[in-house]
Amino acid sequence: MVSIESWKVCKQAGQSKETFLKNLAYCTEQLGILRKQVERPGLAAGDFSATLSIGVTDLLAHPEKYTVATPRQHGGLRQICPHCQSDRLKKHVIIVCQECGAIISEHASEVNPDARGNLPRDENHETQGQVADESVEAQEPATPPSR
């Protein structure tokens, strides 16, 4: 346990005393990562001084031991393949000219974030005018356009 001067910590953190004590209570009671001990040496009338000591728990000293009852779901529920149950899905959007059938642009992105919670990266393949670039072959229209 280490004795701290809470007024100094409040000033350094740019917090009010109430906010600091609220955050300290959260770290001790909700997260369980800190221990605190308050000693009131003077019991004389009007003496409100106290010595505040804090210390770390095993959860802060050894974070690999920390587990949660319910993992957080960033971005909501993950979509899965109904056939193989994989969550490695990709969304593919192609913009095609309805007159001549040329592929104007192609856009692919991952549907679910990776295991670290990183957002999906986009892969864009833009084409110029009505000529598809080399990575995307232009497709002929299924039926000739009607006029």
Question: 63-113, pLDDT tens digit by residue?
Answer: 887 777 776 766 667 888 999 988 888 999 999 999 999 999 999 888 887
3-state secondary structure 18-52: HHHHHHHHHHHHHCCCEEEEEECCCCCCCCCCCEE
- Say what the pTM is: 0.42
Structure-token match 């009338």, residue found: 45
Q: Is the pLDDT of residue 121 over 80?
A: no
Summarised one tens digit per residue, pLDDT across range 41-66 is 766 666 667 788 999 888 888 888 77
